[in-house]
Amino acid sequence: MTSNINSDGDAGLGSARSRAVQVAVVGGGVIGLSVAWRAAAAGHQVRLIDPTPGRGASWVAGGMLAPISEAWPGEEAALLLGEESLRRWPGFAAELAADGGDPALVSAGTLMVALDQGDAGQLGVLAEYLDSVHRAVERVTSRQLRALEPGLAGVRAGLLVPGDLSVDNRKLLNSLRAAAQRRGVVFVGETATEIDQGRVTTASGVLGCDVVVIAAGAHSAKLHPALSGAVRPLKGEILRLRARRLSLPPPTHTVRAVVEGRPIYLVPREGGELVLGATQYEAGFDETVTARGVRELLEGAEQIFPSVGEYELVETAAGVRSASVDTLPFIGELEPGVLAATGHHRNGLLMAPVTADAVVALLAGDKPPAEAEAARPDRLGAGDWL
């Protein structure tokens, strides 16, 4: 297997081929939980180390599974990896349902809307690019937009991306945690302070294992020298709102726009809930919700969907995503017995299925999905990002 993902060609995980291995997954966000659940389902003995599994940046997320509307010329590898994961999502959700879970998968698609001529120009560039790579996208006029979403205001033009999905990130995390438990994953409620081949150190001791999987998001950088400088914290704030008795219900599609230079999305949830996101700051590991972040999100949302002003503001939250130096995640072997599954930036929920499948393949000594090749941790020469 190492020949597929690691050109060093050492023994690595090859020794794990075809037998159950002891796996320690460090980090219980959507990636760590997905990896732990799928690895346990494949017959491995799995421990997941996290003081608060099911929280972290994944808890503070919109839940968009949207590789097409996130696409941009020059980022083809991310598009291909995202699309491959999107294709795996219905099967992943079905497996989760079989284990008693329900991530509330929604297939209404994404509406990207333009408020002015400049935005419309940007959408035009994206539409031409998506045409050129043969992705389904429909140009919609202002009138068509209003017919699709009567609550929109002041929009000039838009793109409908019918293939995008969304999930309720919190239902997903709760489902994954329960499914992992059901499959025998043992949860260790501690913080990993150090990892080495064959062991994970926490405040209360050392856990032995055959393979460590680093899925600690932005915290991964300090757990392995190969990730230091490659993965960094990127703060994001989101709001959760709820339609009230006499207010217009949320849009049926995910709606995205850029308001005064700031990207904003509105993701509908069951029961009249609406998630507004997301600010982005380089702010270290700060998880403070700021007045300005909240004001900008509310202002932006009211501009494109005015009824949101009447909604109840249910929650404000901030999380720290793991940004990658080249926007692609790190999935694969860092050294024998140590795998990375981190750096997913805003795409952790989207890329959870393909990441879990890649890790499970590596544990079995099999070839991971071809699209994950671009996410090999050794793609950047040592020091390239330092």
Q: Which residues bind to its own copies, rule: CB under 8 A? A: 239, 241, 244, 288-292, 294-295, 298-299, 301-302, 308-313, 316
Minimum CB distance to its own copies smaller for 167 or for 297: 297
Read off φ and ψ for residue 118, nearest 5 degrees.
Answer: -65, -45
Smallest separation (angstroms) from its own copies to the CB of 236: 15
Spatial CA neighbour of 102 closest among 111, 114, 93: 93
Minimum CB distance to its own copies smaller for 161 or for 298: 298
Read off φ and ψ for residue 315, nearest 5 degrees.
Answer: -160, 145
Smallest separation (angstroms) from its own copies to the CB of 154: 17
The angle formed by the CA atoms of residues 336, 338 and 341, to the nearest 5 degrees, is: 135
Minimum CB distance to its own copies smaller for 216 or for 297: 297
Spatial CA neighbour of 375 closest among 135, 173, 84, 92: 84
Smallest separation (angstroms) from its own copies to the CB of 311: 5
Smallest separation (angstroms) from its own copies to the CB of 345: 25
Smallest separation (angstroms) from its own copies to the CB of 314: 8
CA dist., res. 169 & res. 6, Å (int): 32
Smallest separation (angstroms) from its own copies to the CB of 315: 10
100: left (phi over 0), alpha (psi -120 to 50) or beta: left
Minimum CB distance to its own copies smaller for 66 or for 241: 241
- The DSSP-derived string for 170-186 is HHHHHHHHHHHHHTTPE
Minimum CB distance to its own copies smaller for 95 or for 310: 310
Minimum CB distance to its own copies smaller for 294 or for 380: 294
**DSSP conformational letter for 310:** G
Spatial CA neighbour of 377 closest among 327, 339, 323, 321: 339
